[in-house]
Homo-oligomer: A and B are copies of this chain.
Amino acid sequence: MPSHRLDPIDRKILSELQADGRMTNVELARRVGISAPPCLRRVRTLEEQGFIRGYHAEVDPRELGFEVQVFAMVGLQSQAEADLRAFEDRCRSWPLVRECHMLNGEVDFILKCVAPDLSTFQTFLTGELLTSPNVGSVKTSLVIRGAKDEPGVPFDILEERLTEAG
């Protein structure tokens, strides 16, 4: 059990599972260069320690009938902590809102939304988001096309930095 600092094998495991989360443990063990039992133990430990939060199938939104993706920049009227929390809670309750991040600068939040079509999004926008208490300004931008959509973090960067540092 790596007490808190990960060794190269752990990082390789995370990197491989980020790229293919359904790889068999046998294959994973082969790739990271150890046998299956310790490999599985490492994966379990990484899960327990929170390095791995979960596993997800990546589905194709278009194929499933979600044609529309929108980024919404939201400014609130009050930035008091309680009001921020209230808005975040509301975002969590909206299925169309997949991501909600609090930002610095003029815009308070950025929301990534997914909807079957434009009218569904418009209904949500005018009926829910804009009429929500404390919401000041909302600027929306439709995604014309996606150019890159990589999950998680760049492990290659991590390796670079660690080899430099020793």
A residues engaging B (CB < 8 A)?
A: 6, 14, 17-22, 49-61, 63-66, 69, 71, 88, 91-92, 95-105, 107, 109-110, 114-116, 120, 141-154, 156-158, 161
Whether the Cβ atoms of A104 and B58 lie closer than 8 Å is no
C-alpha spacing A52/B97, complex, angstroms: 21
Q: Which residues of B contact A99 (CB under 8 A)?
A: 146, 148-150
Majority secondary structure of chain A interface residues (helix, strand, loop or mixed) = mixed
Whether the Cβ atoms of B55 and A143 lie closer than 8 Å is no
C-alpha spacing A99/B156, complex, angstroms: 16
C-alpha spacing A152/B145, complex, angstroms: 16
Whether A98 touches B55, Cβ cut-off 8 Å, given contacts A50-B63, A63-B50, A141-B103, is no
